[in-house]
Structure formats: C-alpha cells, structure tokens
Amino acid sequence: MSNCLLCDQTMKTRQTFSELIFFGKSQSGVCHDCLATFEKIAEQHCPHCFKSGEVGSCKDCHYWLSQGKSVSHTAIFQYNEAMADYFSRYKFQGDNILRKIFAEQVKKALEPYSDYTIVPIPLSQERLEERGFNQVTGILDAARIPYKEWLGKRDSQKQSSKSREERLATEQTFYLVDEKSLPEKILLVDDIYTTGATIQLATRLFMKTSQKEIKTFSLAR
Ligand SMILES: [Zn+2]
Ligand SMILES: [Zn+2]
C-alpha cells in the first residue's frame, strides 16, 4: 500500500484497467481518481501545435504562420484545471517528487525523437534560485532522458503577468550557451505550451545559425 502523490489517499497496489491504458505498467504514484482528472489531447487537434479540439490551424498558429514562422509541436495533455493544479504544486510549491508522475508518458512520447538532441527550455538564474529546480529538466531526469542544456535565459518579467499580445511580442530573452557544432535535429522541450511565444523565441536562436530541423514538445498544451 502507498499513498497517492496528489491527493494522499491510500492506493491499491494493483492497477486498474484504465490506469494501465493511461500510464502503462509503470508506477506513477497517482490514484485512479486523480488520473481521471487529466485529459489527453483529443484525436482532433491543431495539426501544427496539438491544441485539442481544433479543426485545422488554431488562432495561435495562424498568427505564427502569418509571420512566416513554422510550428511543429507535439503535446500529450490538455492544459485543464487538473494540469494547472499539478503545475502549481510542482513548480510553485516546489513539490519535487511530482516530477515523476508523467515520466513514463514523456519517455514514450519522445521515443520517435531518438535521433534528435533534446534541449530543455531553461529558467533564468533568478527564477532557478527562487524555485530551486527547473521543472522541465526535472521531468526529463525522472524519465531518464538525456538532454543538452544549450539554452540560457535572461531575467525578465513573469510571463503570467503579461497579456496575450504582450507575450506574443516578447523580446528575445534566450541565448545560446555554446554556438559551435549544433546538430541538425533538435527537439526543444517545455512544460506548457500556451501561445507558442516562448518556443518561437528559442527556435529563432537555433535557426539563426543555420537551417536546422527544429521540433518542439511540451507535456501540456
Ligand atoms: Zn489521488
Ligand atoms: Zn495550433
């Protein structure tokens, strides 16, 4: 017997059928009731960014495509209330053990990218010191996925305090830690994809040096 990492109720050792479907054979540490609150991206989603329920390009992708940018993003979960709660606990309350919950799904979702170099979206030094860990590398570590910390981030205003337009127009805050010998295929990994602004900024840095194949991934969209 063990307790659910999210709601603390005692869990049966045996997994239910739906837990097996949802999580595979791994021990996620989360009970059936909590699992049921997360929603995977629907079959019908934006072909560019995986936004759930969209027929064709979503509003955000329309914007990026009109700017001559490409979007090649994959995500696993919808950013619903349960996911918001999860990130609130994991990121802002520093509940570090929660990095493990989605490790198996992330590992599985990244299998098709075995020939890509995984580059996590970084935190600024200030934010890193405040939080004590990077939530993206935390999940990658839990999933035992190797990655390269090639991006750095300068301190800036918190994204959540800005409007959608402000976020879309954000100035470059990322920088390349080391510009020499970048591989052709790079997969940028973030925790949440909101408008795509963050990932577009990071992508732009890599595109500047040469025509790289850059795809992006997030746990939630
Ligand atoms: Zn639970
Ligand atoms: Zn889209």
pLDDT digits (tens, 9 = 90+) for 44-56: 999 999 999 999 9
> Which of residues 76 and 23 earns the better pLDDT score?
76
> 63 and 86 share a domain?
yes
Q: Are residues 25 and 77 in the same domain?
A: no
Residues 90, 164 share a domain: yes
Residue 208 domain boundaries: 40-220
Q: For the ranges 13-17, 80-84, 198-202, which has the lowest average pLDDT?
A: 13-17
Using the mean position of ligand 1's atoms as its centre, give its distance from the Cα of residue 31 in Å.
4
**Average pLDDT of span 138-163:** 84
Distance CA 183, CA 95 (A): 34
Residues 27 and 45 in one domain: no
Question: Which is nearest to 85 in space by CA: 38, 132, 40, 122?
Answer: 38
Looking at residue 203, its amino acid is: T
Phi-psi region of 21 (alpha: psi -120 to 50; beta: other; left: phi over 0): alpha
Residue 105, pLDDT score: 92
How far does the centroid of ligand 2 lie from the alpha carbon of residue 60, in Å? 6
Q: Are residues 19 and 120 in the same domain?
A: no
Shared-domain flag, residues 178 and 205: yes
Q: What is the pLDDT of residue 172?
A: 86
Q: Which ligand is nearest to the CA of 85?
A: 1
Q: Are 21 and 117 contained in the same domain? A: no
- Asked if 181 and 87 sit in the same domain, the reply is yes
What pLDDT is attached to residue 161?
65
Residues 105 and 143 in one domain: yes
Do 55 and 29 have their domain in common?
Answer: no
For Cα atoms 91, 88, 101, give the angle at the middle one, nearest 5 degrees. 70
Q: How far is the CA of 195 from the centre of ligand 2 (A)?
A: 9
Residues 98 and 124 in one domain: yes
Which one of the ligands is nearest to 65 CA?
2
Domain check: are 143 and 196 in the same one?
Answer: yes
Give 9 Cα–ligand 1 centroid separation in angstroms: 6
CB-CB contact of 199 with 188 (8 Å):
yes
| pLDDT exceeds cutoff 90 at 195 | yes
Percent of the chain with pLDDT over 90: 61
How many structural domains comprise the chain? 2
Least confident range of 12-16, 72-76, 203-207, 211-215: 12-16
Q: Which ligand is nearest to the CA of 61?
A: 2
Among residues 43, 76, 92, 65, the alpha carbon closest in space to that of 196 is found at 65
What pLDDT shows up at residue 181? 76
Average pLDDT of every residue of the chain: 87
How many A from CA of 216 to the centre of ligand 2? 12
Angle at 42 between CA 212 and CA 219, to 5 degrees: 50
What are the Cα distances from residue 53, in Å, to 1, 35, 56, 83, 219?
38, 21, 9, 17, 17
141 CA distance to ligand 2 centroid (A)? 28
Is residue 217 classed exposed, middle or buried when 0-12, 13-18 and 19+ CB atoms within 10 A define those classes?
buried
The pTM of this model reads 0.87
Q: Helices in the chain by DSSP H: which ranges?
A: 17-23, 32-35, 59-66, 81-87, 103-109, 125-131, 135-142, 164-168, 197-209
Identify whether the C-beta of residue 156 lies closer than 8 Å to the C-beta of residue 9: no
Is pLDDT larger for residue 170 or for residue 122?
122
